Amino acid sequence: MTLPIERARTKRPVTWLTIIGVLMLPVVIGGILVAALYNPTERLGELNAAIVNNDEPVTIDDQLVPLGRQLTAGLVEGTGDDDENLTWTISNAEDAKSGLADGTYAAVITIPENFSAAATSTAPGGTPERATIKVTTPPDSLVVDDAITAQVASTATSVLGEQLSTTYLENVFVGFTDLGTQLGTAADGAAKLADGAQQAADGAAALPDGAAKLATGATDIADGATQLGSGLDEIAGGTSASAAGASALAGGLRDAAAKVNNQELVGAAKLSASNASDAAKQTKDLAAEVGGLAYALGPDGLLGQCIASDASQAFCAELGKVAAAAGDAAGHAVTAATSAGTASGYAQPTAAGISELTTGTSAGLTEAAGKTDELAAGLTQLANGTTQSADGARALGDGATQLGSGADQLATGAGTLATGVQSLADGTDELATGLRTASAAVPSYTDSEAQSLASVVADPVKADGTGSSLFGASAIPLLATLALWFGGLATFVVLQAVSRRALTSRAPSAMLALRGFAPAAALGALQGVLVAGVVQVAASYDVGEWLVFASVCLAAGVAFAAVNQGLVAVFSGAGRWISALVGVLAVATGVVSTVPGPLADLAALMPTAPAYNGMVSALTSTSGVGAAFVGLAIWAVLSFGATTIAVARRRTTSVRALLSAAPAGA
């Protein structure tokens, strides 16, 4: 069954089979692209990769640390979902190399020998070194295979690195607590040191005065020692003289002993005793006589008679004086008589004692002479010792003078010391204050707090809402846009853009253009709905989102039909070439954002841009669906206008053109 639609480049009729073929082309293209490229991470199990673990485990604190094995386990286990991980094979270097060459493995991950050592090199005493792994892919690997392998390896290594960082940071945070405690202890010690230094500073400050007093005292000692030396010299001279005198005294004592020991002294003592007895008797008699005379002259005697007579008072007064003098003489005579009696009583024992004394005194004087000789010898030794003491006193004076000079220097140095010790005390006090501030500033964590904080610091930023699809949310809109665009191109590869009857038809040019556009628009609309259906089967969007998406696809199918008709109508066969370039440009600028700016700007002006943006807005929360409809409508109107102009131009021609016209038009 044929249809009244003109076929391009031939007069053969268009059949329903042709229409179905044009209709299904974008569906097939879209289906293949969506099936092959949409969410490839769901089929990661079809990608084979090998792991070569050459790591040598290390021992830390008597515990074996095989980080190469842990990384291998992390790569093999993945996220726990077999559909989201590669198929891993634990291999060796030779098998991995041959498998990479013959296509068995899409990638080989090699864990080097020093992996554990480098990963744990941040431990105290180690030299920090970054642990690395090597990812090798064949030179003929597909476009996205390298990215998938690198992403999986990066995820595994980042998880292992996060675990290592968490452990390291946990130790660091616990170390903060220990550091704070130690700083507090150091602050207490510094405070005590500051107190001691202050006391030392106070003592050092008093030291210059003491040193000055010591210098003054040393000077006084020097003067006194000099005077002592002079005095000791004099004492030594006097002691020497005393020794000579003692020797002379010893000789005199021997002479006295010889003189004391004679009988003349004894006889004289006895004679004196006899004379004392006689004197006592005579004195007693004299006292009696004088007493009698005094009585005779007294008031009861001559004095009384004189007063009673008519004698002159002057005579009586003189007589009274004589009587008083006689009384006094009598009293003295009695006293003398008593003394004489006493002396007479002692005279005899004294004579006997003198006899004994002369004998004892002679022996004592002889002994005293010997002791005096010894005294003379001792005084001689004393004189010599005193002379030596005088020399020592003068040496003491010299030393005291030097001590005075040293004490002056000590006073000067003590002043400097006092200043320095005070600075030490002030600095130590500042140190204690700084250590307390540092101790207060250092954070303190419990083990659980350190573990929680370390896990956050090791992985401080987390992105929510990121998908596992390598192409993101724009993959479906891009693929659908491409399918519909090339569907529009295919439509006008089959259908005639400008009717061959344009030259002979009486219908208006716009009507002729519409006759070519109407079936293409219908095909484009159906293509849009079918492509949206294929997308829904693959992605299962919400009904509301899909309806908006399907509406944009329908509008895009119609608009793309109009644009492709206009390109072919205006540029003939070159229009199809331009249409292919537009499709390529849409692909090139829709895959990655790092395309050159001019290309991106040019792509934004193409008719594919509003369709793509509208589909993205329909499937995401961004706005732009309305703008997409407006943009597609503008492109459709402009393209239809261009087609109308091209039809109008085809309606005028020359005779030569008619004669040379080929049977088939554009």
Tell me how far apart the alpha carbons of residues 569 and 499 are, in angstroms, rounded to a whole number. 10
Distances from the Cα of 74 to the Cαs of 104, 148, 604, in angstroms?
Answer: 22, 16, 44
Q: What b/e readout covers 524-539, taking b as 16+ CB neighbours within 10 angstroms?
A: bbbbbebbbbbbbebb
| Confidence at residue 381, expressed as pLDDT on a 0 to 100 scale | 82
- In the three-class reduction of DSSP (H, G, I as helix; E, B as strand; rest coil), residue 610 is classed as helix
What's the whole-model pTM score? 0.50
Tell me how far apart the alpha carbons of residues 477 and 38 are, in angstroms, rounded to a whole number. 11
| Phi, psi values for residue 646, rounded to 5° | -65, -40
Choice among 42-46, 533-537, 557-561, 642-646 with the minimum mean pLDDT: 42-46
Q: How many CA atoms lie within 13 A of 605 on its CB side?
A: 5
3-state secondary structure 82-97: HHHCCEEEEECHHHHH
Judged against a pLDDT cut of 50, whether residue 665 lies above it is answered with no
Which tokens is 528 given?
């849009």
Tell me how far apart the alpha carbons of residues 47 and 147 are, in angstroms, rounded to a whole number. 12
Residue of 514, 661, 487, 460 lying closest to 579 (CA atoms): 487
Comparing 79 with 560, the larger pLDDT belongs to: 560
Judged against a pLDDT cut of 60, whether residue 87 lies above it is answered with yes
Choice among 13-17, 46-50, 583-587 with the minimum mean pLDDT: 13-17
3-state secondary structure 163-185: HHHHHHHHHHHHHHHHHHHHHHH
Residue range 620-654, pLDDT digits in tens: 878 889 999 999 999 999 999 999 998 888 877 65
Structural contact between residues 560 and 607, judged by C-beta atoms closer than 8 angstroms: yes
Tell me how far apart the alpha carbons of residues 210 and 413 are, in angstroms, rounded to a whole number. 12
> Under 8 Å CB-to-CB from 354, ≥6 apart: which residues?
265, 266, 269
The domain locations on the chain are 2-38+473-660, 241-416
| Confidence at residue 336, expressed as pLDDT on a 0 to 100 scale | 67
Residue range 334-356, pLDDT digits in tens: 786 687 677 667 656 766 765 66
Residue-averaged pLDDT of the chain: 76
Burial (0-12, 13-18, 19+ Cβ within 10 Å), 170: buried
Comparing 222 with 573, the larger pLDDT belongs to: 573
Residue range 601-620, pLDDT digits in tens: 998 999 999 999 999 999 88
| Phi, psi values for residue 467, rounded to 5° | -95, 170
Query: What angle is formed at CA 18 by the lines to CA 17 and CA 22, rounded to 5 degrees?
Result: 115
Q: Which long-range contacts (CB under 8 A, 24 or more apart) does 349-355 make?
A: 350/269, 350/272, 350/273, 351/266, 351/269, 351/270, 351/272, 351/273, 354/265, 354/266, 354/269, 355/266, 355/269
| Confidence at residue 466, expressed as pLDDT on a 0 to 100 scale | 44
Choice among 62-71, 316-325, 459-468, 582-591 with the minimum mean pLDDT: 459-468
Structural contact between residues 55 and 115, judged by C-beta atoms closer than 8 angstroms: yes
Distances from the Cα of 564 to the Cαs of 208, 519, 584, in angstroms?
Answer: 109, 13, 15
